[in-house]
Structure 1
């Protein structure tokens, strides 16, 4: 789809200032309370954004508060033992634990390369380890009011339903940018994500949530509330993520473990030659080693025993 075709496939309302004012007023009158919405500290916001990537917001609150109690600044996090940070991530079921490693490294970069002061633009923030375009824009928006229009699955759903924006990334980027009032990225991005999170969910609650865009909304007018497909998060139970976390938790209890003893500790059906046996375990450990979370050594066995691989947390 060309840029000209994309732009001609939708149009925002002529009275765009009224649309903008309605959403901001709706958000400021009443919205879900999260502690990271009450701060403009870039480090605190970065922690919340990284934690929220795979975890429901309600569960993030406790983890976020405990993390910041333990490591309240980038200077504190930089000095932390990386194994402790990864262990915290695993203990709180915060998704892929390599994100903890990236957060730890980003804190070091802020301290050593930016003299303890966060960069303030989306482009500059992407220079930090593990900070991609979405997270960089969120930090720039919520910490410095200096971001671009956010485009996540909630925002896409809102724009598709409200203004009939086609299911095309370029169209969503264009429409989101056009809709956001200049210099208002902090409140606007919070507001439009809130709209998608409480009113324009997969099953919409337009009237009960008091959606401020009903008078302009294409879906509300036509009754057609279809929306772009939203990928579903794979089940955590039984997933590779779950067993990566179990490896980290188990190795926290021991200085090191040979694979023959590690395997049975992370799954009850472990059998060296089985489907979830030695080869399966070596694959998980190889991934963790690539992420610089564990170290593997091969040693001679005792007596007549063959060589044995030993795993430990990398510190």
Structure 2
């Protein structure tokens, strides 16, 4: 578990990056957790704190799309509801289930079955509660152990997977270096909140900061802190090419801010033609489209909105 505070000096691996310090780190933490708790994908394993059920979900999710895992996970638990049931099962049946559901390498099924036996025979049926203890189970590596410790026992460290690396690289210019990613993740995680934090940052990487970012579409809570969002450069360790900026929402958000910098205030229908020549109040890129941009900017604390006579009035927040 991270024992660092927002004022701790940055480790050498993060020197020269845009990684936040001071009170800004607390603001970043709060923004992400509030965003996650307000709305997130409802996977069934997020509704349980049972270590066995979470371990099954983690093993199944390795290199398998989460949408396909849901049905397999539910059927698996119908067949073997407890760790004791799985430990008593015939290994051939477990492997056959794995194959029938196209869940990847059969070794994962074998290791999961063996881990269940270890829990029953060596741990008295109770899972270890920390990452080190969980790594003693067959086939459970550092990432899976940390995930189970976090989601089952709220006792994990910062999870660092490909999605988390992408988020940290884009948002804070963290170098493409494992030590730097580990350091950054450990400095961000709030003490004693590994369950909600690791779920939240992985959700951010999954729905907002994928290889093709969807910052505005899901209301990414880190837009106002994010180096990539500011510059339009969304390259990352696993994303070598830069998405198109011309015509993007990011481009028009920038135009809104620049335009408002020239005026005390503008109604939407006065602002619209100044940021795109094809603006028409009732058109595809009309009042509703522009209101979405402005609402995003208001959420980010960049503009203020007030309702005028039949039209919203926008001003740059000073």
Normalising by the residue count of structure 2, what TM-score does the alignment of the two structures yield? Answer: 0.70
**Pair 1:12-2:11 in alignment:** no
SS at match of 1:208: coil
> What stretches of structure 1 of length at least 5 have no aligned partner?
232-315
Deviates more, 1:10-19 or 1:118-127: 10-19
Aligned pairs for 1:204-223 (under 5 A) are: 204-223=213-232
SS at match of 2:102: coil
Q: 1:141 touches 1:189 (CA, 8 Å); kept in 2?
A: yes
Which position in structure 1 is the counterpart of 2:295? Answer: none
**Pair 1:155-2:125 in alignment:** no
Which position in structure 1 is the counterpart of 2:185? Answer: 176
Q: 2:86 touches 2:116 (CA, 8 Å); kept in 1?
A: yes
Which position in structure 1 is the counterpart of 2:176? Answer: 167
> What stretches of structure 2 of length at least 5 have no aligned partner?
1-9, 241-318
The separation in 1 between residues aligned to 2:163 and 2:190, in whole angstroms, is 19
Q: Could you tell me which of 85, 88, 91 is aligned with 1:82? A: 91
Q: Could you tell me which of 202, 207, 210 is aligned with 1:198? A: 207
Q: 1:153 touches 1:230 (CA, 8 Å); kept in 2?
A: no
Q: 2:11 touches 2:183 (CA, 8 Å); kept in 1?
A: no
**Pair 1:145-2:163 in alignment:** no
Q: 2:20 touches 2:172 (CA, 8 Å); kept in 1?
A: yes
Deviates more, 1:89-98 or 1:6-15: 6-15
Q: 1:155 touches 1:192 (CA, 8 Å); kept in 2?
A: yes
Deviation of 1:9 (Å): 2.9
Deviation of 1:4 (Å): 5.4
After superposition, give the CA deviation of every residue in 1:95-134 in whole Å (9 maximum; x if it has no partner).
Answer: 0011000000000000010000000000000000000000
The separation in 2 between residues aligned to 1:182 and 1:139, in whole angstroms, is 17
After superposition, give the CA deviation of every residue in 1:33-70 in whole Å (9 maximum; x if it has no partner).
Answer: 10000000000000000000021000000000000011
Deviation of 1:229 (Å): 2.2
Q: 2:170 touches 2:236 (CA, 8 Å); kept in 1?
A: yes
After superposition, give the CA deviation of every residue in 1:225-251 in whole Å (9 maximum; x if it has no partner).
Answer: 1100269xxxxxxxxxxxxxxxxxxxx
Which position in structure 2 is the counterpart of 1:247? Answer: none
Q: 1:9 touches 1:166 (CA, 8 Å); kept in 2?
A: no
Deviation of 1:209 (Å): 1.0
The separation in 1 between residues aligned to 2:56 and 2:39, in whole angstroms, is 24
The separation in 1 between residues aligned to 2:59 and 2:12, in whole angstroms, is 35
The separation in 1 between residues aligned to 2:37 and 2:94, in whole angstroms, is 35
Deviation of 1:21 (Å): 0.6
The separation in 1 between residues aligned to 2:182 and 2:127, in whole angstroms, is 26
- The 3 A distance-change label for structure 1 pair 230 and 88 is farther
SS at match of 1:158: helix
Q: 1:86 touches 1:101 (CA, 8 Å); kept in 2?
A: yes
- The 3 A distance-change label for structure 1 pair 13 and 4 is closer
Deviation of 1:7 (Å): 2.7
Which position in structure 2 is the counterpart of 1:281? Answer: none
Which position in structure 2 is the counterpart of 1:105? Answer: 114
Q: 2:72 touches 2:101 (CA, 8 Å); kept in 1?
A: yes
SS at match of 2:225: coil
Which position in structure 2 is the counterpart of 1:131? Answer: 140
The separation in 2 between residues aligned to 1:193 and 1:221, in whole angstroms, is 22
CA RMSD of superposed structures (Å) = 1.3
**Pair 1:119-2:136 in alignment:** no
Deviation of 1:74 (Å): 0.9
Count of equivalent residues: 229
